């Protein structure tokens, strides 16, 4: 679906929804936005998940996300933005995409879209901390 949009086909986002069209990245309006201005930012290169994106493509992808946040604040009156990337679980389109959603206080969006689950105890928290720290070192 997103590959059609990138190729200029008749995907769910036609020219009337395309916001950014650059050599490595496109951004278009979400067809089911949380709020007006909700963007999907997509690398031209087809990858399914963020960990598959070549490192040199991170700056173009998140550079557009950063510019989108600024634009939403200066042109749409947003006070901030929610930036998210889903990964496999409930990812509706198997192509990497970053959501940038304009936010204002009192807009009705409450926290995240899922229930929060904490750590069993302090030992569990420390175990997770050290596991991730070691993996990312």
Active site residues: 97
Contacts of 78 (CB under 8 A, 6+ apart): 37, 72, 102, 103, 104
Tokens 């070549």 belong to which residue? Answer: 54
**Shortest CA distance to 41 belongs to which of 108, 88, 86, 73?**
86
DSSP states of 21-85 as a string? E-SSEEEEE-SS-SSTT-EEEEESS--SSGGGS-GGGHHHHHHHHHHHHHHHHHHS--SEEEEEE
- Three-state DSSP state, 15: helix
């Amino acid at each position: 679906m997103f590959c059609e949009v990138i190729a200029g086909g008749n995907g769910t986002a036609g020219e009337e929804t395309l916001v950014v069209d650059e050599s490595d990245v496109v951004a278009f309006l979400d067809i089911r936005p949380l709020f007006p201005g909700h963007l999907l930012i997509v690398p031209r290169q087809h990858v399914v998940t963020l960990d598959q994106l070549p490192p040199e493509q991170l700056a173009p992808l998140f550079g557009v996300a950063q510019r989108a946040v600024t634009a939403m604040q200066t042109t749409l009156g947003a006070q901030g933005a929610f930036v998210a990337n889903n990964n496999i679980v409930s990812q509706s389109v198997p192509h990497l995409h970053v959501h940038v959603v304009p936010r204002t206080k009192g807009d009705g969006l409450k926290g995240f879209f899922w229930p929060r689950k904490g750590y069993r105890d302090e030992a569990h928290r420390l175990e997770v901390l050290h596991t991730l720290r070691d993996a990312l070192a």
